[in-house]
Amino acid sequence: MEIFQQIFNLETFSSTLRMAIPLMVAAIGGMFSERSGVVNIALEGMMLAGAFVAVVASYFTGSAWLGLLAAVIFGGLFALIHAVVSIRYHADQVVSGVALNLLAAGGTVFLLNILFNTSGTSPSVNALPYWGPFKPTVYLGLLIVLISHYVLFYTPFGLRVRAVGEHPHAADSVGIDVEKIRYVCVILSGMLAGFAGAHLSIGVLSIFREGMTAGRGFIALAALIFGKWYPFGAMGASLLFGFFQAIEIRLQGIEAIGIPAEFIQTIPYILTIIALAGVIGRATPPAASGEPFEKGKR
């Protein structure tokens, strides 16, 4: 009973929200990209790049807010690579995403050594301040979910995004610029992933660590699928996965529980696989997701 109380308490639920925010925001970014027809498995790399740039900008400017802004901008620019390769040159979207993930993983380590003459961990930088019990990225993340739901389902832009992701040639026939919509959505996905990465490096912590996203970009993709490409669905799935991660942290702090730390660290990923196994067969992505669009060709 005592162990139960140590795990399920207010701190656990507070930690759940902090852990869920990067998953939630990155999943929303992936939602816009896939709703427009472009698969983006590079969320992991975009989050990692955003986390790194946030620390670099905060280090050299002394402002965590400028670090957050830099992460969002760079995330968008990083995503532009994926957009050009996938949309203009019709390359395989999965291969492009994998390449960007590898670029981010290797590039951040290389630049960490160049800029800070260190490997593994950056110097400590100014972090975002607390607004009450949470950092501002928590409140902004929740706001992003609400705004995304409104934009996707109650604005002309959202209608175009959904049309392009389901029937791009039909959308093109009524004058919608399919490629432009896809560019905007992929870049937006990178900006949101950059925000999610900044939450980790200058929100939760005040440093950058090699590989600090630790697969969260892939869990965000799982949350997107679990939430069936809906903002509130992705939010709910992210909270569920965030809860798994919070439980993992609480269990590691309880010595008397007698479970090997290595097994505890796998809990979020095991539960993610189990959760996906129950829903993935019933989750239907946008009809044109992953399919290159060539004007005049069906």
Distance CA 168, CA 165 (A): 6
| Nearest residue to 50 via CA among 203, 219, 242 | 203
For 46-98, write each residue's pLDDT tens digit: 999 999 999 999 999 999 999 999 999 999 999 999 999 999 999 999 999 99
For 1-48, write each residue's pLDDT tens digit: 555 555 666 777 888 899 999 999 999 999 999 999 999 999 999 999
What is the structure's pLDDT at 5?
59
Residue for token pair 């630790």: 214
Confidence of residue 262 (pLDDT cuts 50, 70, 90): low
Going 72 to 146 to 167 to 176, the CA torsion angle's sign is negative
DSSP for residue 122: P
- Please provide the average confidence, as pLDDT, over all residues in the chain: 88
164, 181 contact by CB (below 8 A): yes
- Give residue limits of the domains in the chain: 2-279
Distance CA 246, CA 227 (A): 20
Query: Is the pTM higher than 0.85?
Result: yes
What own/partner pairs with CB < 8 Å and gap ≥ 24 does 230-234 have? 230/31, 230/149, 231/28, 231/31, 231/145, 231/146, 231/148, 231/149, 231/152, 232/145, 232/149, 234/24, 234/27, 234/28, 234/31, 234/145
CATH code, 2-279: 1.10.3470
197, 51 contact by CB (below 8 A): yes
Q: Which of 60-69, 122-131, 135-144, 283-292 has the lowest mean pLDDT?
A: 283-292
What is the structure's pLDDT at 37?
94
- Over range 194-217, report the average pLDDT: 93
- Over range 265-275, report the average pLDDT: 72
Distance CA 165, CA 287 (A): 7
Give the phi and the psi of residue 121 in degrees, each rounded to 5.
-140, 135
- Over range 259-287, report the average pLDDT: 69
